[in-house]
Amino acid sequence: MALPVAFFAVFFAYPVAAIVSRGLHGDGGWQPGRIWDVATRPDIRHVLWFTTWQALASTALTLLIALPGAYVFARFEFRGKQLLRAVVTVPFVLPTVVVGTAFLALLGRGGLLDELWGVRLDTTVWAILVAHVFFNYAVVVRTVGGLWSQLDPRQEEAARVLGASRFAAWRRVTLPALGPAVAAAALMVFLFTFTSFGVVQILGGPTFSTLEVEIYRQTSEIFDLATAAVLTIVQFVAVGAILVVHAATVRRRETALRLVAPGTTARRPRGAGQWALLAGVLVSIAVLLVLPLAVLVQRSLGAPGFGYYRALADDDGGVFLVAPIEAVGNSLEYALAATAIAVLIGGLAAAALTRRAGRLMRGFDALLMLPLGVSAVTVGFGFLIALDEPPLDLRASWILVPLAQALVGVPFVVRTMLPVLRAVDGRLREAAAVLGASPWRVWREVDLPMVRRALLIAAGFAFAVSLGEFGATVFIARPDNPTLPVAVAQLLGRAGDLNYGQAMALSTILMVVCAVALLLLERVRTDRTGEF
Amino acid sequence: MAVGLGLVALPVLSACGSSGAAGSGDPKTITLVSHNSWLVSKSVLKDFEKQSGYKVRVLKDGDAGQAVNKAILTKDNPQGDVFFGVDNTLLSRALDNGLFQPYTAKGADLVLPRYRTDQDKHRVTPIDTGDICVNYDKAYFSEHKLAPPQSFDDLVKPAYKNLLVTENAATSSPGLGFLLGSAAHYGDDNWQDYWKKLKANGVKVVDGWEQAYNDEFSGSAGGKKANADRPLVVSYASSPPAEVIYAKPKPATAPTGVAAGTCFRQVEYAGLLSHAKNAKGGKAFLDFLLTKEFQDDMPLNMFVYPVREGAQVPAEFARFGPQAKDPETLAPAKIAADRDQWVKSWTSLVLK
């Protein structure tokens, strides 16, 4: 409990407070009156309205498309499932710069849709919504599917035997059990889309702007710190309100569930209906997720004989002092460190949250989610001006990058572990304690075996977030060791065929690295007998 | 209590693998803060390190605007000793905020007079220059038997309707340069009318250069793959040479050209940061930036022109992206006075 709180105090609350107060101080001392002036400007009101509207629409659309996917991944056994599960997570880690390019190629002028049906969606709000589904599909599949695969199907079968219709059994038995996970997934998707940055910036053009994009413009381009500070506060309040509502709706619904090993619940689809569902999900994945990725791969192969890939190994290629390929190593190192930090902090926080209840703990729970709702730009600038004194002068230290990434990873770890931890029957712990086990041993012998899978999923998330994270990383200046997304952005920032091709090649490598890493995580089983 | 715990744990964390704190004050290390486009050949930098006995650390801190803003935010406790990469469009912001301390670099007398600025205080040293100009896709215009536009006036003609893509002047440095160029060309009272006409003639605005150039412009490598259909883009005079140099095999001529009458002159400066911990090393580095060796090496790394008299310009530059003969320019004081207001009016005029 102490460690997560300290972590957030030092690396989140303090930097953000520093930059916001710098913005509000202005020339005449403390000016809280500015908040109202800025918040009621018509253009700012419009930004707030658009932000909320597109986030709601994106969340609804994502749930609609991804929930059948979650079901298929949880309940069906089919060839290539593990690979596919890794593939659907890949979009989540791609730098938005790259995704924007891919989507323009699909939806823009002369894109695939344009050639087939003469439809152009670039610079419409649809492009933004579709890209958000692309990014967040994995969030739903992993959080909801993870729990769904551990629900005992026999409970539903028992209800059927007792005379409930198929739908009634699902509504009364499965849905309540899934509720918290669905709510958690919806919340995450909403927070992500509410604070969406790269997608909106590239696909929305200069006409659509979310709060996050506006904060970035005000801070880093226009240098109007006061407006940026107010917008940060507005976003903070909005996200806080969302979290409060979320906490109120799910709190009472997390109950002890009977969880079983995920391997036992999935079986081959039976009957036309199930096969049709499986086919439908596969088609939607192919169109929405694989197609944009395929465009990137195709473009990376544009030069004869893997020319772009070969160019990546040259260190006289111009843009970097080191061969761009070295960025792969940098990225992996950062991601491992960030995952370790996120799992440690998130795990401790989740454990603390399951052990105790009460108002204070609920506040702590919400606090852990806040980093998702505060712009990376704000945090990055905050780091710059807050963490500049010994012993905390970390501005050029490599550890700052994984720390910033872990900040985003922790909420994932907490969200994925908490439903499972809370579902562990408390009496098991009590029994163990009565039998003389120390608290640590209770955790090790009772909780850990049950949450190992959730822990792996959480670690996978944290790893993926770190691998593709671009916002905060860009803000932290460091000696010349770029991460993959940063290297891609630098290559895209220069004219010339070879640079563009290398950017596509590097993006393809990023996809592969990520997919492989996720596959490995899926395979990690320290306990050969499965989960229990 | 909890916070105390965290503080104890941190030094331990940062002790492993920290590459030395920012501006560590190590008298043998020079820290350069710059934007992402900073690049120098390894051998040239090694030569400097050997001759001077200093070690150079480079911190790349985002795009040009971002890097300047961050340097200003951290000016009381800077991340390094020297800052490279503030251009004339943002120079006033850096100077007004007291980012730099005075230093006259060795070789400042060799800088071509037209690039010199801040002559009474010497807070910044000009290092390189480039022109922001409209680029055109040669293939498109020969295919359509249409002469490419050559001037600001041409761009609003019906023949070029829906052909131009530019960048958001509020967020992109070429976008801002193009706006300043039009303001210099038409004057305070008429530039807004010009933009109204441009808008009526179908100019498309995207957020950043990458997108404009790689996704929307039909003449670039990325644009060709994306079937982009805007044959005119606001970019740099040095973009056509880049299309040649970074193509395999190298074509005999550049696929793109520059509309000579649409250029705005950009000059990039470097300076010694106000609270530099290693001021002596910083000064040595500024001297280095003006040496012939560095100035000769710079063009093919950063795609800019040297400012030093007698520095060599690569053959590809002279052939495919010569410097504009008569670019638009604006006095730094003028930019300082009007920039923010212009960007505001431009935003409400063009984007709303």
pLDDT band at B20 (very low <50, low <70, confident <90, very high): very low
Residue of A nearest to B297 (CA): A318
Task: Compare CB distances from A104 to B208, B226, B248 and report the shortest one's residue.
Answer: B226
Residues of A in contact with B33 (CB under 8 A): 477
* Cis peptide bond N-terminal to A371, omega within 30: no
Instruction: Indicate whether A193 pLDDT > 80.
Output: yes
For residue B298, list chain A residues with Cβ-Cβ distance below 8 A.
Answer: none
For the cut 90, the answer to whether the pLDDT of residue B198 exceeds it is: yes
Of the listed ranges A57-66, A381-390, A453-462, B21-30, the least confidently predicted one is B21-30
| A219 part of contact set with chain B, CB < 8 Å | yes
- What average pLDDT score do residues A469-493 get? 71
Chains A, B: CB contacts within 8 A come to 206
Radius of gyration of chain B (CA): 22
B323 token code pair: 């410097």
Q: Identify all chain B residues contacting A108, using CB atoms and an 8 Å cutoff.
A: 215, 226
Please check the confidence at residue B224 and state whether its pLDDT lies above 50. yes
Residue of A219, A399, A498 with shortest CB distance to B247: A498
**Residues A67 and A257: beta-carbon distance below 8 Å:** no
Structure confidence by residue, pLDDT tens digits, A104-156? 767 766 566 666 776 666 667 888 898 999 989 988 988 888 778 878 788 88
Q: Calculate how close chain A gets to B244, using CA atoms only, in Å.
A: 7
With cut-offs at 50, 70 and 90, classify the pLDDT of residue B131: very high
- Does A242 score more than 60 pLDDT? yes
Of B14, B221, B226, the CB nearest to A496: B221
| Residue contact A391–B59, C-beta within 8 A | no
- pLDDT: which is higher, B168 or A95: B168
Integer-rounded Cα radius of gyration of chain A: 23
Q: Identify the band that residue B256 occupies on the pLDDT scale cut at 50, 70 and 90.
A: very high
Amino acid at A353: L
- The residue written with tokens 């400042």 in the block is B108
Mean pLDDT of A187-195: 86
Instruction: Pick from A8, A221, A341, A486 the residue to mutate for testing the B interface (most B CBs within 10 Å).
Output: A221
The β-bridge relationship of strands B125-137 and B264-273 is antiparallel
Share of chain A above pLDDT 90, in %: 7
Predicted confidence (pLDDT) per residue in A383-421, tens digit: 888 887 766 677 767 788 888 888 888 887 887 787 777
Average pLDDT, integer, range B158-176: 92
In our burial notation (b when 16+ CB lie closer than 10 A, e otherwise), range B90-119 reads: bbbbbbebebbbebebebbebbeeebbbbe
Bridge partners, residue A76, by sequence: A267
* pLDDT at position B136: 97
Nearest to A479 among B10, B13, B19 (CB): B19
Q: Which residue would you say has higher pLDDT here, A214 or B32?
A: B32
Paired with B265 in beta bridges are: B131
Q: What angle do CA B320, B86, B49 make, to 5 degrees?
A: 85
Query: Average per-residue pLDDT in chain A?
Result: 79
More reliable by pLDDT, B58 or A368? B58
Mean pLDDT of A483-487: 78
As given in the structure block, the two tokens for residue A80 are 């290539």
Q: What is the pLDDT of residue B197?
A: 96
Burial B148-176 (b: 16+ CB within 10 A, else e): bbeebebbbeeebeebbbbbbbbbbbbbb
Q: Would you state the pLDDT for residue A308?
A: 86
**Burial class of B139 by CB neighbour count within 10 A (0 to 12, 13 to 18, 19+):** middle
Q: How far, CA to CA in Å, does A28 sit from each of A34, B188, B340?
A: 11, 32, 21
* Lowest-confidence region among A263-267, A410-414, A507-511, B123-127: A263-267
The answer to whether the Cβ–Cβ distance between B243 and A497 falls below 8 Å is yes
Hey, which residues does B86 pair with through a beta bridge? B269
Q: What are phi and psi of B306, to 5 degrees?
A: -75, 160
**If pLDDT is split at 50, 70 and 90, which confidence band does B4 have?**
very low
Interchain CB distance below 8 Å, B3 and A10: yes
Q: Note the pLDDT tens digit of each residue in B272-289.
A: 999 999 999 999 999 999
Nearest to B227 among A109, A307, A500 (CB): A109
Contacts of B170 in chain A (CB under 8 A): 206, 217, 221-222
Residues of A in contact with B20 (CB under 8 A): 396
Under a CB-based contact definition with an 8 Å cutoff, are residues A192 and A56 in contact? no
* Distance in angstroms (rounded) separating the CA atoms of residues A482 and A140: 31
Q: Which residue of A has its CA nearest to B204?
A: A205
Average predicted confidence (pLDDT) for chain B: 88
Is the pLDDT assigned to residue B183 strictly greater than 50? yes
pLDDT of residue B255: 94
pLDDT category of residue B325 using cuts at 50, 70 and 90: confident
Q: Do A494 and B242 touch (CB under 8 A)?
A: yes
- Residue B108, pLDDT > 50, answer yes
CB contact under 8 A, B19 and A397: yes
A388 CB neighbours in chain B (<8 A) are 22, 74, 77
CB contact under 8 A, A2 and B206: no
Question: Does pLDDT of A478 surpass 50?
Answer: yes
B303/A202 touch (CB, cutoff 8 Å), yes or no:
no
Mean pLDDT of the A87-94 span: 79
How confident is the model at residue A118, as a pLDDT?
A: 63
